[in-house]
Structure 1
């Protein structure tokens, strides 16, 4: 049983899953958003394929800790996942996760074109790994 991490954006959804022991996060894909129904169907396929028991959604907060419009969108999406698939959803403060992903890719000298293709998936890995690290020993 695994945990899935999602980085929800307007145009894409970065997806990562944990290993079976829930120690490490691996990026698996970036979903190109089309319609809500197709987005949900793809997530459901991945839930089944990877035997996911929990989803961790990157939760964007303002730098002062308040919840803005983007956070509300993520919360609504998480509630929809819970209701539709009867799966536990946790929220993880994702402030600066995309910045960290960008920095990692720049340090690895990844081309701009390639960065654009993988940044959301890497952000999902950073979100999920942060969550997993806090769960060790629980």
Structure 2
């Protein structure tokens, strides 16, 4: 059993996603309109209590060349503050292109991403969390070196 929140942190909104208790499927829960750290924290605290959250998974907006830019550092700083205030561990997922993917999903549903930005943020948060959940399911790759026979063993 697992309870995790996925966060897509933006300047104006925070998309929030949760997962089922088995950790199989992420779904968008809500979008928090950012006002202040205290307001945003209180919204997250309520969700964490309702869902008995054990961890936060936050999307980091890496640059296209894979570096942490200023926006990613701002997100990381805020996420660390949330984690500390909520006494929860924070993990990060590369969120490049999740907003684009979320917009494409809405378009496929015949909806307008421009008019439903809050929903884009929720879907992006669900994509971030699903990426993390899927990574949990991947078996750890271990390489076992096969010893080479010595010259005496080959003869």
> Any gaps of 5 or more consecutive residues in structure 1?
none
Partner residue in 2 for 1:135: 136
Partner residue in 2 for 1:105: 106
Matched-pair contact (CA < 8 Å) for 1:7–1:120: yes
C-alpha distance in 2, partners of 1:129/1:31? 20
Q: What displacement does 1:107 show?
A: 1.3
Moved >4 Å (runs of 4+):
none
C-alpha distance in 1, partners of 2:52/2:64? 34
Partner residue in 2 for 1:67: 68
Q: TM-score, normalised by structure 1?
A: 0.94
- Match of 1:30, SS? strand
> Any gaps of 5 or more consecutive residues in structure 2?
140-155
- Match of 1:110, SS? coil
Matched-pair contact (CA < 8 Å) for 1:102–1:115: no
C-alpha distance in 2, partners of 1:16/1:82? 16
Q: What displacement does 1:125 show?
A: 0.4
**Larger strand percent:** 1
Q: Deviations over 1:45-99 (max 9, x none)?
A: 1001011101100101000001111111111012112221110100000000000
Matched-pair contact (CA < 8 Å) for 2:15–2:118: no
Matched-pair contact (CA < 8 Å) for 2:16–2:32: yes
Q: TM-score, normalised by structure 2?
A: 0.85
C-alpha distance in 2, partners of 1:61/1:113? 23
Superposed CA RMSD in Å reads 1.3
- Match of 1:28, SS? strand
Matched-pair contact (CA < 8 Å) for 2:56–2:83: no
Structure showing greater Rg: 2
